[in-house]
A and B are shown apart, each in its own frame.
Chain A
Amino acid sequence: MSAITREEVAHLARLSRLALADEELDHFAAQLDQIVGAVARVAEVATADIPPSSHALPLTNVFRPDVVAPSLTPEQALSGAPAVEDDRFRVPRILGEEA
């Protein structure tokens, strides 16, 4: 059973802006398939009396008060950036429309 197709890997690669070669598509399709297969085993133990959850802890309503905390300095914030211009993160040309 191969749940993950080459086309799906190519689609994900485009969304993630990853340039994958043809042979890599096959390589990752197989890997992703294994991962999905491993995760799918959860479905085998899930029964009607186990509600689906999206968090490890059975908590709700964890909020923080609306209080300002110190920010980083621009120097600190930008210290890990590959490129900086005018105290801003410099990124390569963006192909695509503005979100």
Chain B
Amino acid sequence: MPYDEALERFEPVLGLETHVELGTNSKMFCGCPTTFGAPPNTHVCPTCLAFPGALPVANAVAIESTIRIGLALNCSIAEWCRFARKNYFYPDMPKNYQISQYDEPLCFDGYLDITVEGKTVRIEIERVHLEEDTGKSTHVGGATGRIQGADHSIVDYNRAGIPLVEIVTKPIEGTDRLAPEVARAYATELREVMRSLGVSDVRMDQGSMRCDVNVSLMPRGSTEWGTRTETKNVNSFRSVERSVRGEIERQAAILAEGGRIIQETRHFHEDTGLTTSGRSKEEAQDYRYFPEPDLVPIAPDPAWVAQLKAELPELPSVRRARLQAEWGVSDLDMAAMHNADAFGLVEATVEAGAPAADARKWWMGELARRANENGVALAELPITPAQIARVTELVKSGALNDKLARQVLEGVLAGEGSPDEVVEARGLKIVNDEGELSAIIDQVIADNADAADKIRGGKIAAVGALVGGVMKASRGKADAGRARALILEKLGVTE
């Protein structure tokens, strides 16, 4: 059913579960490294492979990071809580259970404020708990590499045991037609918070941040929630938005025909933007949670928690408001930077010494255009904020004009080196040599005698043609303002 029609008839209720891999040096319960992309089964030991007799010990930094996340999300911190065993039979955990938290999460009852179309929406946080990540299964022998039809599976346990924080929202009501945007804005803001805390590299493409999106619909006017589905495998912010939209359309079509939504897990497909059903569960999941007997309870010292709270960095929403005021940027321009993922780049460029207006101009203009042309994210362009700052400095000093600056950026993007190296190699410096400029102007005046006469006769507007001629003759390297002044001077005209 088309989205607008679906929204006329139904109201969506959202819920998001986000997993964030912490960027600790070592795993949650053992000393194995956590770096991404290592050869299979090289970051494993008796503990994370669940060899008999091996015992877990909790990583102090992971505990601290989780509390800091909870504090940044305005949560209460448990005075005392425990890990729990989540028992399930699946080879992605060699123990046959995952150490997680159940009814005693480390952090609970918080919120995160987000901005959608200029409006602040408060997303309430149910809980933030700490668990361990699972290994990575590859399914062999199936036609599509998927589990269905696979002959067998092979498992790499490098990821098993990496500390994983799960952040669960309370049901989000009242988003109306903005449900997809709200979901995306929440995920994006959550990533910003994680970044500001420095607790994770939060890369959705590498799986260090993963979103599960719950959606249900209720008929307009109803207050009783419908049956929800949970969509997994949502690996980008855009996909978070698309999956919500797609699921609303799918559920609305079923409900409109008098059908029933099945509570199930669905898998999102990047290529089509659609979800497909995971296998229906034969019976309700029964994880038989119980307190983890291999680990002692966590009882964070209130003084330590207070200290962590006092030491929290400036949070992204506060930082954005401050920088917006400092930069004098409109809400609309802020939103544009945010949507283009340019905010952090602009900020870094300003920090590297560029005026905010220039930093924004280059990232949102020339560089956004180039990123778009090449189908890459702005941050993936092979140019750094410091290099942009250097270019703005060269423009400010008069060594470059905007046109030459664009050529410098082109050179840097093409891998020709730093801005200064590109200027040198391509000979892009503005012609500041008065003698050289003077000679060019004399030639241009000689070549355009008619225009020169008009100017002498008082028709100053005609000077544009001569300036154009100078710029052309200097291949863009002349300072147009200086050229104009010199032409008028030579023709004995004052404005």
Q: Is B90 an interface residue (CB 8 A)?
A: yes
List A17-63 residues whose CB lies under 8 Å from chain B: 17, 54-55, 57, 59-63
In the complex, how many residues of chain A place their beta carbon closer than 8 angstroms to a beta carbon of chain B? Answer: 40
Question: Closest approach, in angstroms, between the C-beta of B177 and any C-beta of chain A?
Answer: 31
Contact with A along B44-81 (1 / 0, CB 8 A): 11100100000001111111000000000000000010
Instruction: Say yes or no for A16: interface residue by CB 8 A criterion.
Output: yes
Q: Give the residues in chain A near B154, CB-CB below 8 Å.
A: 85-86, 88-91
> Complex formed: what's the CA distance from A78 to B154 in Å?
12
Contacts A88-B156, A91-B91 given; does A60 touch B298 at CB 8 Å: yes
Nearest residue in B to A63 (C-beta to C-beta)? B60
> Could you say which residues of chain A place their CB within 8 Å of the CB of B89?
15-17
Main DSSP-derived SS at the B contact region: loop
Interface residues as binary, B29-57 with A (CB distance below 8 Å gives 1, 0 otherwise): 01111000001111111100100000001
Contact A99 B31 (CB under 8 A): no
Give the distance in Å from the alpha carbon of A54 to the alpha carbon of B155 in the complex: 32
| Residue of B62, B147, B151, B156 touching A66 (CB-CB under 8 A) | B62
Residues of B within 8 Å of A, CB-based: how many? 65
Determine whether A3 belongs to the interface, using a CB cutoff of 8 Å to chain B.
Answer: no
Q: Is B382 an interface residue (CB 8 A)?
A: no
- Sample of 18 more A-B contacts, CB < 8 Å, known A11-B283, A98-B137: A14-B282, A15-B286, A15-B288, A54-B292, A55-B295, A63-B58, A66-B24, A66-B59, A67-B25, A74-B40, A74-B41, A86-B154, A88-B154, A90-B152, A90-B155, A93-B152, A94-B147, A98-B278
B residues whose Cβ falls under 8 Å from a Cβ of A: 24-26, 30-33, 39-46, 49, 57-63, 80, 82, 87-92, 94, 134, 137-140, 147, 150-157, 232, 265, 278-279, 281-283, 286, 288, 290-293, 295-300
Provide a sorted-by-A list of 30 A–B residue pairs whose CB atoms are within 8 angstroms. A11-B283, A14-B282, A15-B288, A54-B290, A54-B292, A55-B295, A59-B296, A61-B296, A62-B57, A62-B296, A65-B60, A66-B25, A66-B60, A66-B61, A69-B30, A69-B32, A71-B32, A71-B33, A74-B41, A77-B49, A86-B154, A88-B156, A89-B154, A91-B91, A93-B150, A94-B91, A97-B278, A97-B279, A97-B281, A99-B134
